[in-house]
């Protein structure tokens, strides 16, 4: 009985070792195929406001910086930070203003089109959105909420290191004052 138990233990250890070795090879391949990048984007956002913020200006211009890594050819992961400018609007003689910032993570999928330099891209992710409001009913009001994002676009690789990207994105925020954002981003990437 002890010999059978010992043989079974050795067989389990060998099987586990072989599986671990195969997995280590997979991780090693993934590491060699991982290409980190940094990017900067211009973002045009159209915000759908709810009560009591319906009189806010709806279009915003933002800058976004991002860090990411493209794994293999068809998958990428990216973190970003976005900051809008303050947009002001006069409504019935009263001043309204709003601005927002966002940071989060997106997963990207890449599909080559016609040539290996042009890729159709899709993204799914989440972000923490913080809106700062100022209007007559209140002095200042800030709200945070995690929103969910989905996007589709194109990326063109000029060289092995430089690429341009355009993405259309829908973000659901679901706050009382902010329901969603529809955004168009355009920017450059540098891959190390």
Judgement on whether residues 97 and 11 belong to the same structural domain of the protein? no
**pLDDT at position 77 over 80:** yes
Question: Is residue 192 a contact partner of residue 40, using CB atoms and an 8 Å limit?
Answer: no
Judgement on whether residues 15 and 88 belong to the same structural domain of the protein? no
Judgement on whether residues 18 and 41 belong to the same structural domain of the protein? no
**pLDDT at position 183 over 80:** yes
What per-residue confidence (pLDDT) applies to 15?
Answer: 46
What per-residue confidence (pLDDT) applies to 5?
Answer: 45
**pLDDT at position 13 over 50:** no
Q: What is the domain range of residue 20?
A: 1-33
Report the distance separating Cα 185 and Cα 142, nearest Å: 25
What per-residue confidence (pLDDT) applies to 2?
Answer: 47
Question: Is residue 41 a contact partner of residue 186, using CB atoms and an 8 Å limit?
Answer: yes
pTM (2 d.p.): 0.78
CA 21 to chain centre: 33
Tokens of 192: 């190390």
What's the mean pLDDT in 107-128?
A: 94
Q: What percent of the chain has pLDDT over 90?
A: 59
Judgement on whether residues 58 and 131 belong to the same structural domain of the protein? yes
Judgement on whether residues 81 and 139 belong to the same structural domain of the protein? yes
Q: C-alpha angle with apex 27: 22 to 31, nearest 5 degrees?
A: 145
Judgement on whether residues 81 and 26 belong to the same structural domain of the protein? no
Q: How confident is the model at residue 50 (pLDDT cuts 50, 70, 90)?
A: confident
């Amino acid at each position: 009985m002890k010999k059978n138990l010992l043989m079974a233990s050795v067989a389990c250890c060998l099987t586990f070792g072989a599986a671990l070795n195969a997995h280590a090879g997979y991780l090693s391949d993934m590491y060699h195929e991982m290409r980190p990048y940094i990017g900067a984007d211009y973002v045009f956002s159209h915000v759908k406001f709810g009560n009591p913020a319906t009189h806010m200006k709806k279009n915003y211009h933002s800058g976004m910086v991002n860090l990411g890594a493209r794994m293999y050819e068809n998958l990428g992961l990216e973190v970003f930070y976005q900051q809008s400018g303050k947009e002001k609007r006069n409504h019935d003689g009263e001043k309204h203003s709003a601005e927002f910032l966002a940071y989060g993570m997106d997963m990207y999928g890449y599909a080559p089109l016609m040539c290996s330099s042009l890729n159709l891209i899709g993204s799914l992710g989440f972000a923490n959105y913080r809106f700062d409001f100022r209007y007559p009913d209140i002095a200042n009001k800030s709200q945070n909420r995690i929103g969910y994002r989905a996007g589709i676009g194109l990326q063109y690789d000029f060289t092995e290191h430089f690429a341009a990207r355009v993405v259309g994105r829908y973000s659901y925020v679901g706050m009382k004052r902010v329901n969603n954002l529809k955004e168009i981003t355009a920017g450059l990437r540098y891959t190390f």
